[in-house]
Amino acid sequence: MTAHLEIRPLTARSVVLSTLLGVHPPRLPARYLVRVGDLFGIAEGTIRVALSRMVAAGDLVQADGTYGLTERLLERQARQDESRLPHTRPWDGTWEIAVITAERRPAADRAALRQAMAALRLAELREGTWLRPANLVRPRPDPVVRQCTFLRGRPEEDPAVLAASLWDLDAWTASARALLTALDDATTIAERFTLAAAALRHLLNDPILPPDLLPPDWPGLALRSHYERFETSFERLLTDHVLS
């Protein structure tokens, strides 16, 4: 089950990172992060070593004994927040189409564009052409604005068939349902924590399609609800045992 779901092991780094990604603003004193580690049986020294290594790696910034996320991870937190509560609008049947029009792009620009397209939940139809239903409201980052021209259009074929060819909806559904089952069966805080982190990563890959284009019984809403319940209980745990 864990291999199928790609559950990452519970480590000092994962505990620190998931905790900071889940709080707003994403900054906590070291003593609080040590207490979080204690909830999972991780020794204080192990947490402090992880904090030092994360600062050296550029994951965290430290000031006056307080640790916060760097810009790169702040962007990740924003993507996670959006995946939990996506900004959508009623769909009128049109698709947004991004065509790469920039020439002689260096490798760094190509990589930045591909990463930005994934964050925008656009799918690659063919090299240089990306698209999705125009039901999301979100800003376009600089790599996209510089390298692409955007158009609006409607497919001549069945849009549900097109969506199914662009995203592996069956595989996403299967993993989501496996996560829901595992979350229901989890009995310890460590199990719930690691599974909730996996659920949040899975939601980052949800294409957030209009309901008309989704298979029956799409589990996206159920997975979001499960994650929100976990977050509420974990926030209560932090308040009672860490931040008090």
Are residues 81 and 61 part of one domain? yes
Are residues 183 and 82 part of one domain? yes
Here the CATH number for the domain that contains residue 10 is 1.10.10.10
Q: Where are the alpha helices (DSSP H) in the chain?
A: 2-5, 12-21, 30-39, 44-56, 71-84, 107-119, 142-147, 159-166, 169-185, 189-204, 220-241
Are residues 184 and 74 part of one domain? yes
Q: Is 50 a domain residue?
A: yes
Per-residue pLDDT of the chain (244 residues), as tens digits, is 444 667 788 899 999 999 999 889 999 999 999 999 999 999 999 999 999 999 999 999 999 889 999 998 998 999 999 999 999 999 999 999 999 999 888 999 999 999 999 999 999 999 999 999 999 999 998 999 999 999 999 999 999 999 999 999 999 999 999 999 999 999 999 999 999 999 999 999 999 999 999 999 999 999 999 999 999 998 888 888 777 6
Residues 192, 24: Cα–Cα separation, whole Å: 21
Last residue of a domain, one of 103, 126, 153: 153
- 32 C-beta neighbours (distance < 10 Å), count: 16
The residue with tokens 């310890």 is: 188
Nearest to 84 by CA among 192, 228, 185: 228
Domain limits for position 59: 1-86+166-244
Q: Is 132 a domain residue?
A: yes
Q: Is 160 a domain residue?
A: no
Burial class (CB in 10 A: 0-12, 13-18, 19+), 84: middle
Residues 45, 160: Cα–Cα separation, whole Å: 53
| Total tally of structural domains belonging to the chain | 2
Residues 126, 124: Cα–Cα separation, whole Å: 5
Q: Which DSSP string corresponds to 209-244?
A: --GGGSPTT--HHHHHHHHHHHHHHHHHHHHHHT--
